[in-house]
Amino acid sequence: MSPNAKAPDFFDRLQIITESCLTRRKRMRRIKKEKQKAKNPLLDWLEAFLWAAGMVLLINQYMVQAYQIPSGSMIDSLNIGDHVFVNKIVYGPELLPGILKLPSPVKPKRNDIIIFENPSYISRGPVFDIAQRVIYMLTLSLVDIDRDEAGEPRVHFLIKRAVGAGGDRIVMERGEMSFNFAGEDRWVTEREYIKARGWNHKISRLMPERHYPVLEAAGQAAAWTDMGLSVPEKLRTQSAGNVRFPDYLAHEKSRLETLRKISPHEKRFSVLFARHRLGWYVPEGRMLPLGDNRDNSRDGRYFGTVRESKVLGKGLVKYWPLRRIGRIL
């Protein structure tokens, strides 16, 4: 450098560095663009698909998952064919489908619409279960590979309302439910409780009250047949009516009560009848899930209570069909 040359000041150095960075950035962009041009279009499409599929899986597994309602057990709250989103964050998501559920400070509470694994579901193995759930998630509940011999989807998950909570005693009389809450000394009907809380969901009944005498007579007649006895003519006449939507629990209660009377020495009849007479007790840390459509729901009355830690999510919104869009209440 000559004695008269001026040393570059701060702004000159900044300009040199900026030009260098911009030149390098432009060169990198040009290289990336050339690589994209040289890439096979099929691989480019596959990369985009895998990225989108990965995002769908992450969202479905840890945040919000789509489900399709397969039965009428929750009518009118949820109808057959409704597509719904379930909040999977609220109660803690699973790390992997069916494996190791993360804890959450939020627990399911009474009246929540919850989704959980069907207690009577028979798994085909962890590999099949994971594959089924991945495909189900990727297709937003449109494709279910888990089907029975008749081609119908096997019910892996159930969506019901959390009706009973820890400490409750619950009885049913002719399809109508009553609660005895922990620490209380009186019974409250479910309909009274729903009204007092200001909840808006409807308990649907398919079987009218006038059909119960016929149904109960049919249960008594079944008990005589079970014991190898001839059904009395009067009882045969009383049970001859047509009951379209039978309350199977009421039928079974009537049958067991009659068996107990016919054979009072048979303790097993007394024990089985006591379950219907005394109702259900919900232990702490468990929920009793029931369908809103009481005469068309295979629920906790048949398979028992469900652990809170096994609840996978809470119903969020209905998104299809368009006329059904709205919050799940």
Q: Are strands 286-290 and 176-180 parallel, antiparallel or unpaired?
A: unpaired
Q: How many CB atoms lie within 10 A of CB 88?
A: 22
Provide the residue type at 125 as one letter.
Answer: G
d(CA 30, CA 36): 10
For the full predicted model, state whether its pTM sits above 0.75: yes
pLDDT of residue 19: 67
> Cα–Cα distances in Å, from 5 out to 2, 11, 15, 17?
5, 17, 19, 21
Per-residue pLDDT of the chain (329 residues; tens, 9 = 90+): 455 554 556 666 766 777 677 677 777 777 666 666 655 677 777 777 778 777 877 887 889 988 889 899 999 899 999 999 999 999 998 887 777 888 899 999 999 999 998 988 888 887 888 788 888 888 877 888 888 888 888 888 899 999 999 999 999 999 999 999 988 889 999 999 999 999 989 999 999 999 999 999 999 999 999 999 999 999 999 998 888 888 999 999 999 999 999 999 999 999 999 988 888 999 999 999 999 999 999 999 999 999 999 999 999 999 999 999 999 99
Alpha-helical regions (H) of 124-232:
126-138, 190-197, 212-226
Q: Residue with structure tokens 């809170």?
A: 308
pLDDT of residue 40: 65
The CATH code that applies to domain 54-168+283-327 is 2.10.109.10
d(CA 289, CA 298): 10
Q: Where are the domains of the chain?
A: 54-168+283-327, 209-274
